[in-house]
């Protein structure tokens, strides 16, 4: 069979490998994760076991592709490297965002303790009440963002990463209204009790 790699349909190949494909998600035939594979027209990636590839590598694994020419092999390698570096950059960005949100979270908790202390000393302390009011709106948002970044779908996490400050705020408020986020493995992660003070 002399069909070029690009003509393989990745959905069809995953199906042949034993995966059930639904839209841009699929069950993973390697680790049996439910909906843990994200796929595009060109590449697939399992969030659980790390299985990844493109239509050509998968076709080869399945014994469907003809022998590659050297140029094709180079193209495939370049494409795989590109996909890997995109995935790695994404994970690094997520990691950075999470650690700065975690640091902010700790700061807010510290401020909250200070405000409580002020109010214990003087129940009418205005700075104490203002600080507390600020923290009571910011802390739930921050927690919503942390849940999104650790468990959210790749699409949602990307739109947060690429979003402006206002956009991120909207996303956090939407999560709070819904009470949680859809996760990358097709479950639901609760945000927890938003009352904090």
Burial letters 169-182, b for 16+ CB under 10 A, else e: eebbeebeeeebbb
Cα separation, 133 vs 122, whole angstroms: 16
Q: To the nearest whole angstrom, how small is the minimum distance from the Cβ of residue 27 to Zn ion?
A: 9
Torsion of CA 148, 151, 154, 159, to 10 degrees: 0
Beta bridge partners of 21: 26
Cα separation, 74 vs 60, whole angstroms: 15
Q: Rule CB under 5 A: is residue 33 a binding residue for Zn ion?
A: yes
Nearer to Zn ion, 31 or 64 (CB): 31
Q: To the nearest whole angstrom, how small is the minimum distance from the Cβ of residue 52 to Zn ion?
A: 9
Q: To the nearest whole angstrom, how small is the minimum distance from the Cβ of residue 62 to Zn ion?
A: 16
Q: Give the residue, chosen from 14, 28, 39, 172, that forms a contact with Zn ion under the rule CB under 5 A.
A: 28
Q: To the nearest whole angstrom, how small is the minimum distance from the Cβ of residue 191 to Zn ion?
A: 27
Longest CA pairwise span in the chain (Å): 83
Nearer to Zn ion, 30 or 90 (CB): 30
Count of residues that bind Zn ion according to CB under 5 A: 8
Both structure tokens of 185: 């493995």
Q: Give the residue, chosen from 46, 108, 132, 142, that forms a contact with Zn ion under the rule CB under 5 A.
A: 46
Nearer to Zn ion, 36 or 55 (CB): 36
Residues that bind Zn ion (CB under 5 A): 28, 30-31, 33, 46, 48-49, 51
């Amino acid at each position: 069979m002399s069909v070029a790699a690009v003509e393989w349909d990745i959905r069809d190949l995953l199906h042949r490998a034993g995966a059930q494909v639904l839209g841009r998600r699929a069950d993973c035939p390697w680790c049996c994760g439910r909906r843990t594979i994200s796929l595009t027209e060109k590449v697939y990636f399992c969030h659980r076991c790390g299985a990844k590839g493109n239509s050509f590598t998968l076709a080869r694994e399945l014994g469907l592709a003809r022998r590659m020419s050297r140029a094709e092999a180079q193209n495939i390698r370049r494409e795989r490297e590109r996909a890997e570096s995109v995935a790695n950059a994404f994970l690094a960005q997520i990691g950075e965002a999470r650690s700065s949100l975690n640091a902010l979270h700790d700061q807010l908790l510290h401020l909250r303790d200070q405000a409580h202390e002020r109010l214990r000393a003087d129940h009418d302390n205005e700075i104490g009440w203002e600080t507390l009011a600020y923290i009571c709106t910011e802390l739930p948002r921050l927690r919503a963002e942390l849940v999104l970044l650790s468990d959210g779908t790749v699409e949602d996490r990307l739109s947060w990463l690429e979003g402006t400050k206002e956009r991120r705020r909207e996303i956090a408020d939407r999560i709070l209204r819904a009470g949680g986020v859809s996760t990358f493995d097709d479950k639901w992660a609760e945000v927890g009790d938003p009352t904090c003070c």
